[in-house]
Every structure is written in C-alpha cells, then in structure tokens.
Amino acid sequence: MSAQHTLVRLEALALIGIGGFAGSNLRYFVGFLAPGIPGTLLVNVIGSFVLGFLLYEAIYSGLLAEQTQIVAGTGFLSSFTTYSTFALESLQASPLLLVGNILATYAFGFTGILAGRTLARIVDGGET
C-alpha cells in the first residue's frame, strides 16, 4: 500500500470522525431544542431528507466532492440519525405506540428520502 493511499484512508477516517462528532452532538441537543417532540423520530426524518438530497444531488449534478459525501453522509448523518435508539424506544413503548412509532418512522423516513430527491431535481433544474 502506498503512502498516498494510506493518507487518503486517514483523511476519510478523519472526515468521518469530524462529521460524527458534529452529528452526535446535534442529536443530543435536539432534546433541548425541541422538548416534547419525539426526538428520535424527528432526527431520523430530517436525516432521511438530507441524505436523500445529498445522494441525489451527487447523482444529478456530480458537484458534490467525495469528501463532502463522506463527512456529511457517513460521518454527520449516520451519527445524527439513530436506528438503535429507535428500536429501543419502540420496544419500551406500549403496543399501540410501538406500532405507531415503527409505521411513522418508516413512512416519514421514506417520504424524507423522496422529498430530498425531489428537491435535488428542482435545484438541478430537472423535472419533479
């Protein structure tokens, strides 16, 4: 493995770490910023929307650098959203809330991805 190849991997790890630090801290503070709102559902829906936008913006325009995709997608958004907390909160809820949380998370998550894709198309001058 060449020294340059090693530096590229180290750069990716550093970017993921920086993004992860920011995403996990913002996730923690969402509880303070929006008390009374189901925080995990909120961050998962927002994260789905942003990830959908970033993914499709990269596909449609090709303008997002690989480093941006790494820091934003793999680092920030993967630490901002949280599947494990969603699963735990669902299992700790009453049966009715468990089903509601699962349905809402998946429905709004997929809707967020589709909305992000639509926004990327609009931004890039494509059709909706």
DSSP at 74: I
Q: pLDDT tens across 4-27, in order?
A: 688 878 988 999 999 999 999 999
Instruction: List the structure tokens of 83.
Output: 């599947």
**Could you give the CA distance from residue 21 to residue 120 in angstroms, rounded to a whole number?**
26
Instruction: Quote the number of domains for the chain.
Output: 1
Sequence letter at residue 49: F
Domain coverage including residue 68? 3-123
Q: What are phi and psi of 63, to 5 degrees?
A: -90, -15
Give the per-residue pLDDT at 127.
67
Q: How far is CA 123 from the centre of its chain?
A: 19
Predicted structure pTM score:
0.85
**Contact yes or no for 52/115 (Cβ under 8 A):** yes
Q: Does 96 fall in a domain?
A: yes
**Per-residue pLDDT tens digits of the chain, which is 128 residues long:** 677 688 878 988 999 999 999 999 999 998 888 877 788 999 999 999 999 999 999 888 888 888 888 899 999 999 999 888 899 989 999 999 999 999 999 999 999 999 999 999 999 887 65
The pLDDT assigned to 1 comes to 61
Which one, of 32, 56, 38, 21, lies nearest residue 103 by Cα? 38
Assess if residue 128 is contained within a domain.
no
Residue 56 has a pLDDT of 92
Contacts of 121 (CB under 8 A, 6+ apart): 56, 60, 127, 128
Please indicate, yes or no, if residue 116 is contained in any of the structural domains.
yes
